[in-house]
Structure 1
Amino acid sequence: MASRWNSGVSIILLFSFPELLLSAVVTLDSLEIYKNHEWLGSKPKVYFQCSGEKKAALPDVKKTYTVYKFKGEESFQPLTEFSSKKCKRCGFYEEEHIKFDDVFDEWEFCPSDFAASDGRYIRTVDKEFNATFLCHECIKHDETTNLDSDSHPHEEGHGMQWTIIIIVISVAASAIFVAGLVVAYKYWQKRKRQQEQARFLKLFEDTDDVEDELGIDSI
């Protein structure tokens, strides 16, 4: 029951705040290095790291021109997580004990990089490495964002239609109200004339009655 509630809250947050990714996990699917930066030809110590995060050491990567495949369940997985649409400064490095660590490559790692339908992102740096990353949640977020952005024109169209309908109804109601006032005014005038005529006739009737009582013949 709690898991369903959490899922519902996640969906609501995702639609309400599309900039949130709700913890999009990134794993390393494969890696092939083309260069060993060690001077004496010893085995490289390769690791992945994003700025401000811990190192993800890759102890199995020891040879150049060898494709290493991963299951996503290794001890160093996941490599990182995206909690928003913002990019991170990440890279592959080779650990050194004497001097500064060597850099295979550093780049702005973004959720939008995962544009493939299977959630993959392939990064190749000439003479350095070829890496494939996975982030299925990034694809789900992009689909939701696209769906939400695609719905805006329809929503705007419906909003315009409702505005036009409201304006038409307001004009019609105003016209009916004015017409009602005109009809009511004409009816009041007609009743007023009828009442004046009735009073005028009653005045003549009263005059005839007085003449009859006095015995005065009408001329």
Structure 2
Amino acid sequence: MPIRIPPARWDFRGFVFCFIFLGSFPGTILTQEVTLDSIRIFKTHEWFPTKPTVYFQCKGENKTVFPDVKKLNVSYSFKGVESWQPLTQLNGTKCKRCGIYEEDTLKYDTFDEWELCPSDFSAEGRYTHVKEKEFDATFLCHGCSQVGAGTNKESGSEKEEERRGMHPAIVVLIVVLVLGVVAVGLIVGYKYWRKKKRQQEQARFLKLFEDGDENEDELGLEDTL
């Protein structure tokens, strides 16, 4: 009689299988949260003397307002557990087009826009972005450094492929050098051949001259006799 495995055991096995399957693709499924650690603004773009409204936004996502950032040249630090945190999420090794903006009375102004990537974060999960005369901000992303390490490896392999791509250039250079040596050899050989030919013609001419003198001497003797 076959033994039936309880459904609960199958559920547990399915959970373990899914965990292993998802864990085997960390670069494509793993999601990392990005939080703001600190920020300091150096200027505002508001025409009227009001406190600025500074916010963070990635392309296609909702904006996140920094409610406490109101004064210039003041460093604001955060714990990462504020109600408006996290700022965004990074999936695998993919980058996002993000920026820090100021919402003015009539329009919005851009402090800066850039590509936010997991590979930007250090091994401690920290990344600092500076825009001269605008702001500097430090972001945290725990787990991004592990994904970023794989991206760095890929960039290293790309550099290695670029080095390998230099080989054809070296081959072309060697071929050019060989052709140059062959051309020089041909020129030298041609000059040497012409020199030898000239010497042979001179030797033949001298021999004909000497033969002519001998013939004349023989003819002179015969006439005397």
What TM-score results when the alignment is normalised by the length of structure 2?
A: 0.57
Q: Distance in 2 between matches of 1:20 and 1:49?
A: 23
1:108 matched to 2:80 = no
Identity of aligned residues (%): 52
| Alpha-carbon separation, structure 2, partners of 1:109 and 1:134 | 12
Measure the CA separation in 1 of the matches of 2:17 and 2:147.
15
Q: Which amino acid aligns with 1:120?
A: R
1 CA distance for matches of 2:85 and 2:45? 24
2:30 equivalent to 1:22: yes
Give the C-alpha shift of residue 11 in structure 1.
5.6
The question of 1:136 aligning with 2:133 is answered no
1:49–1:92 contact (8 Å) kept in structure 2 = yes
How far apart, CA to CA, are the structure 2 residues paired with 1:10 and 1:118?
26
Is the CA contact 2:93–2:148 (under 8 Å) kept in the aligned structure 1?
A: no
Could you tell me which residue of structure 1 aligns to residue 126 of structure 2? Answer: 120
Q: Out of 45, 52, 56, which is 1:48 matched to?
A: 56
The correspondence of residues 43-192 of structure 1 with structure 2, limited to 5 A, is 43-98=51-106, 100-114=107-121, 116-143=122-149
When residues 8 and 107 of structure 1 are mapped into structure 2, their CA distance, relative to the original with a 3 A threshold, is farther
Opposite residue 37 of structure 2, the aligned amino acid is: D
Give secondary structure in 2 for the equivalent of 1:97: coil
- C-alpha displacement at 1:147, in angstroms? 9.1
- State the AA in 1 paired with 2:139: F
CA RMSD of aligned residues (A): 2.9
Q: For the Cα contact (< 8 Å) 1:21–1:85, is it kept in 2? A: no
Partner of 1:158: none
Q: Distance in 2 between matches of 1:75 and 1:39?
A: 30
The residue type paired with residue 70 of structure 2 is K
Give the total of aligned pairs: 145
Gaps of 5+ in 2: 1-10, 155-225
Q: Give the letter aligned to residue 108 of structure 2.
A: D
Q: Tell me how far apart the structure 1 counterparts of residues 75 and 20 of structure 2 sit (CA, whole Å).
A: 38
Contact 2:32 2:143 survives alignment (8 Å): yes
3-state SS of 1:133 partner? strand
**What is the TM-score when the length of structure 1 is the normalising length?**
0.59
Separation of aligned partners in 2, 1:126 and 1:51:
23
Q: Match of 1:113, as an amino acid?
A: D
1:50-103 per-residue CA deviation (whole Å, 9 max, x = no partner) reads 0000110001000010000000011110000011312111000000231x2000
